[in-house]
Structure 1
Amino acid sequence: MSSHPTSNLQPWQVITGGICGLVLTIGLARFAFTPLLPLMQLQTGLSDAAAGGLAAINYAGYISGALAVAWIDDVRWRHRLYGWGLWMALLTTAAMALTTWMPAWGLSRYLGGLCGAGGMLLGSGLVLGWLMRQGRRPELGLYFIGIGLGVAVSALGAWGLSFLWPDWSSQWLAFAAIGLVFFVPAWLWRPPVPPLVAPSAASNSGPAVSRRWMLIMAGSYFAAGWGFVISATFTVAIVEREPALAGQGALAWALVGLAAMPAVFVWDKVARRLGDTRALLLAFALQTVAVVLPAVSGSLAAALLGAIGYGATFIGIVSLTLALVGRRAPQNPGKAMARLTLSYGAAQMVAPVVAGAMAQATGTFKGALWLTAGVMLLGMALLATLPEDAQV
């Protein structure tokens, strides 16, 4: 296949290709682990602490990818690496089925994290840059529907596959086959390689990003990453751990994805009306409530409302934050997004290990959920210091 797609793509093709890329690199290469985790624990004896360790390795791969993206200036390399990430997502998903050896699982989870960084940062940067060059609204709400769709595909896929193949390894292989469906449009409709820009032109384009603004955003995004990863890793396990809710984990995870898909459009509209900072504060507050609901009550209603609230808010935080920082660096939005994402990825490495260890010691995830709510409140406090005139 050619490494450079045609330059006369239509907007719907670029957006659809980007959405499919997110489903593959985020929904399958990273998130399939969440709905399959209870089955893997049941059939392989994987402990809570080991599951948290694998999740942390996955996010170590993600932050490694973010570091690489933050370092790469050459637009041709960013485009090339995005394409490689699509291929790797298929291979790492299939590789999970081939062994129960923890180092091999760790390697697969690490590479899956790299793929996630490619889809989230390289893909979103390429799409946002293409939208700005085409004179279109520089928002990522429509593109990030791929995250919610990916979550829904992983959840509904795990539920449906459980009726066909009851063993965990067959389900991983089936997810790799499902990934092929999304790989084809993601590969064929990649945004074209952006034109090279002279350094002088690049340095004079877009508003400046102050050090204070970046530090505040990095701190709040660390909190957002903590809140994101606890639910992303353990939602299904938390629900299945409640005796009255056994068998409902896949439903809760599906609701996360289904809530995220329409929410991306809603948060774009909220930001236009309230401003980016106030919209982010609202999303943080609602996600904090969603996180503590399963800790307050073990009912099905609390679990499902928490899942819906989490799905509807984490996607808004990601979309608003990355679009905001991307607009401040129009010549290389992916690189700017990656720098901010380092703090998000750092939280994703630490939080699963802490939550897994707490669950292992106490037999419940409630303590980890309350801790997560506290971290989210600290993120809100930081975000509240961001002046409105710092927005674009």
Structure 2
Amino acid sequence: MAKSRPEFLIALGLAAGPVVALGFTRFAYALLLPAMREKLHWSYASAGGMNTANALGYIIGAATAAWWSRRFGARAVFLWSMVISALALLASASTGDLAGLAVLRFVGGLSTAITFVVGSALASRVHNGGHQSRSAALVGVYMTGVGIGVVLSGVVVPAALTAWGVSGWQAGWLLMGVLALVAVTPAVWASRHVPEATGAAAAQRGRAGLKLLAPTFAWYVLFGAGYVSYMTFVIALLHGQGMKTWGTATFFIVLGAASAVATLLVWGRLIGRLRGGTAPALVSVVVLVGVLPVLLWHGTVAAIVSAVVFGGSFMAGPTAVTVLARRMLPQHAWTSGIALLTVAFSVGQAVGPLISGLLSDSSGGIAKGLWLSVVLLAVSAAVALVQRERGAAEHRHQDAPTLVPVPVPVPVPVPADRSAAER
């Protein structure tokens, strides 16, 4: 059924998942944070704790995504988790209570992790041929949804804040919730045209492949902690440097546009050509370079350079991990493999903002907290280089049916002088 539809359009329809999961639920919080801090009188630790609640939900969602997928089917789980995320966004507009918002951030993290993990597995199946570069490019198309979501939130949230001032944070959540419900429509169409999973590989085969991915697990924890600390607090940093609402909006829109364009045109194809931990290490280095301009210089130029470099590279991390999982695991284990890797990612995302927030509350301010990103990304690049791409050849044909030779009876010659009875 999927072959009658352009693979690009199917992957693009699935990209509605990360639009909601990361573009709205995860990253738009950075735009709303300054207004929420001012209106609700939060410390930076409280603000970071909100993202920690989101990340804890993300950990549980990622850990259980494969189970939900097996229990109810990948397509249904992908779509219903998007709907739950949209409802959590809408509900976030209804309260200013710290505990209530933390619960909604937790629920949003839970549902969006399931969306992202299951959607990544679906995107990996859009092209089920043998062309690794083609599959990597289509996974890149799926990941562009993050950049698209960042651009949309970069328009919607500042518009709400401009119209209603610091009280506009509630309108921001409300508008993103409505857009999230609209995004379900293309996701429904695309999910119906993804080929069914093939093969019935044994679970132990997937576990063997996961052991080979141990360095990538460690890299993903460090990378998640490093990049999300920047994404959580960079708008607050720019706001503290004197940048106004539409200035930070421009920064966010440029970041999202750079993410969508680079993920679509550069990283998907580049990652398809790189082997082992080279791609994750390269991603960490480029993301690190993207963090530095706002820490070393003030002003619009530094902010835009940071947005272009960081935005053009941070979503290449999940792309690299998805491609590695596809290469080193049998197809039967893709969803569970991506899910467990996403758990590692979520652990980093849970710890990073909390530590960064605590550092930001100290005498060094937000910049001190963001230097944590630089350190973690540098260490993650070194760890990634340990990864070797093994197991791909071993698993390449594991989903094919095993042919067991059936013994063919060989006639035994009977001596001519034996009687019929003896025969």
TM-score over 0.5 (shorter chain) = yes
Instruction: Provide structure 2 residue ranges, at least 5 long, that are not aligned to the other structure.
Output: 394-423
Q: Deviation per CA, 1:180-213: give whole Å up to 9, x if none.
A: 32122223332458647564x45698996262x3
8 Å contact from structure 1 (residues 263, 315) kept in 2: no
Using the TM superposition, name which of 146-155 and 113-122 deviates more: 113-122
8 Å contact from structure 1 (residues 129, 332) kept in 2: no
- Structure 2: how far apart are the matches of 1:32 and 1:79? 26
**What pairs up with 1:325-344 in 2 under 5 angstroms?**
325-327=325-327, 328-344=329-345
2:92 is equivalent to residue 91 of structure 1: no
Equivalent in the alignment of 2:271: 271
Q: Structure 1 counterpart of 2:320, which letter?
A: L
Equivalent in the alignment of 2:135: 138
Q: What secondary structure does 1:132 align onto?
A: coil
Q: What secondary structure does 2:312 align onto?
A: helix
CA separation of 1:63/1:147 partners in 2, compared to 1, >3 Å: closer, same or farther? same
8 Å contact from structure 1 (residues 229, 351) kept in 2: yes
8 Å contact from structure 1 (residues 26, 115) kept in 2: no
Q: Structure 2-normalised TM-score? A: 0.83
Using the TM superposition, name which of 111-120 and 129-138 deviates more: 129-138
2:254 is equivalent to residue 258 of structure 1: no
Using the TM superposition, name which of 296-305 and 267-276 deviates more: 267-276
Q: For residue 31 of structure 1, report the CA deviation from its aligned partner.
A: 2.3
Q: Deviation per CA, 1:300-357: give whole Å up to 9, x if none.
A: 2222212221111111121111221133232242211111111111011111111111
8 Å contact from structure 1 (residues 25, 85) kept in 2: no
Partner residue of 1:33 out of 17, 29, 42: 29
- Structure 2: how far apart are the matches of 1:196 and 1:383? 29
**What pairs up with 1:209-288 in 2 under 5 angstroms?**
209=209, 211=211, 213-243=212-242, 245-247=243-245, 248-264=247-263, 265-275=265-275, 277-288=277-288
Equivalent in the alignment of 1:159: 158
- Structure 2: how far apart are the matches of 1:68 and 1:296? 41
Q: Deviation per CA, 1:252-311: give whole Å up to 9, x if none.
A: 222211110111130123234443532332221111121222222223222221222111
2:70 is equivalent to residue 74 of structure 1: yes
Q: For residue 179 of structure 1, report the CA deviation from its aligned partner.
A: 2.1
Equivalent in the alignment of 1:305: 305
- Structure 1: how far apart are the matches of 2:330 and 2:164? 47
2:348 is equivalent to residue 347 of structure 1: yes
Q: For residue 118 of structure 1, report the CA deviation from its aligned partner.
A: 2.1
Q: Structure 1-normalised TM-score? A: 0.89
8 Å contact from structure 2 (residues 78, 115) kept in 1: yes
Instruction: Provide structure 1 residue ranges, at least 5 long, that are not aligned to the other structure.
Output: none
Q: Deviation per CA, 1:109-167: give whole Å up to 9, x if none.
A: 01111222122111111221232269883221111110111111111211233344432
How many residue pairs are counted as aligned between the two chains? Answer: 385
Equivalent in the alignment of 2:96: 100
Equivalent in the alignment of 2:61: 65
- Structure 2: how far apart are the matches of 1:144 and 1:81? 19
8 Å contact from structure 2 (residues 19, 145) kept in 1: yes
- Structure 1: how far apart are the matches of 2:107 and 2:11? 25
Equivalent in the alignment of 1:316: 316
Q: Structure 2 counterpart of 1:311, which letter?
A: G
Using the TM superposition, name which of 299-308 and 283-292 deviates more: 299-308
Q: For residue 13 of structure 1, report the CA deviation from its aligned partner.
A: 4.4
Q: What is the percentage of aligned positions where both structures have the same residue?
A: 25
Q: What secondary structure does 2:365 align onto?
A: coil
Q: What secondary structure does 2:15 align onto?
A: helix
CA separation of 1:159/1:128 partners in 2, compared to 1, >3 Å: closer, same or farther? same
Equivalent in the alignment of 2:296: 296
- Structure 2: how far apart are the matches of 1:203 and 1:42? 50
Q: For residue 175 of structure 1, report the CA deviation from its aligned partner.
A: 1.8
- Structure 2: how far apart are the matches of 1:230 and 1:117? 18
8 Å contact from structure 1 (residues 222, 347) kept in 2: yes
Q: Deviation per CA, 1:353-387: give whole Å up to 9, x if none.
A: 11111111226222222222111111111112223
Equivalent in the alignment of 2:114: 118
